[in-house]
Amino acid sequence: MQKLVLASSSPYRKSLLERLRQPFECASPDIDETPQPGETAEQLTQRLARTKAQTLRSRFSDHLIIGSDQVLLLDGEPVSKPVSHAAAVDQLTRSSGRTLTFSTALCVLNSANGHEQTCIEPVHVTFRDLNPEEIERYLQLEQPYDCAGSFKSEGLGITLIARIQGNDPTSLIGLPLIRLRAMLANEGLNLP
């Protein structure tokens, strides 16, 4: 059986993959994430997921390499991790009462034979109408400055949300496990 490699340094993706109870390694692909001219946000995230997996192919020659990338669009523009409190306040204020789409691209590369599977798994998140005091309380308690959208659905951030729609709730956190399980089965790794 081939070993798994997660092409990521994200603690959130690592934690998600641990749910599958399979041994795996993490390796951080050092890639340029600059958008190409004319590239849509979804094209960018899919290209990055593929590039992350492909970059590790020479280091892991008989593995199933998992690459993933996520994009959030707000007012038609990609939203990155806020890093600062002020940016998080801005993101949540702009998200209040609105539905945002998180698109997570997934790539599974069989490094032994070059077979590659890719998909994009969208999740639509509708935020409640949030007042400034709620936003401030939430940010003080959870400090989600390393999360696009400035909230953690797996934590207290769930209280900001009115509805989540999608086929794979783990896609929102950054690694769609339902789709990943199907892709791994296509490579002969059946779970559980």
pLDDT digits (tens, 9 = 90+) for 151-168: 999 999 999 999 999 999
Q: What is the pTM of this model?
A: 0.88
Q: Which residue numbers in the chain have pLDDT < 50?
A: none
| Catalytic residue set | 69
Q: Please report whether residue 29 resides in a domain.
A: yes
Q: Please report whether residue 115 resides in a domain.
A: yes
Q: Please report whether residue 191 resides in a domain.
A: no
Number of domains into which the chain is organized: 1
Supply the DSSP string of 137-188, one letter for each residue: HHHHHH--TTSTTS--TTTGGGGGEEEEEES-GGGGTT--HHHHHHHHHHTT
Task: Note down the domain range covering 86.
Answer: 3-186
Q: Please report whether residue 35 resides in a domain.
A: yes
Q: Please report whether residue 93 resides in a domain.
A: yes
CATH number at residue 178: 3.90.950.10
Q: Please report whether residue 192 resides in a domain.
A: no
Q: Please report whether residue 179 resides in a domain.
A: yes
Structure confidence at residue 41 (pLDDT): 85
Structure confidence at residue 151 (pLDDT): 94
Q: Please report whether residue 151 resides in a domain.
A: yes
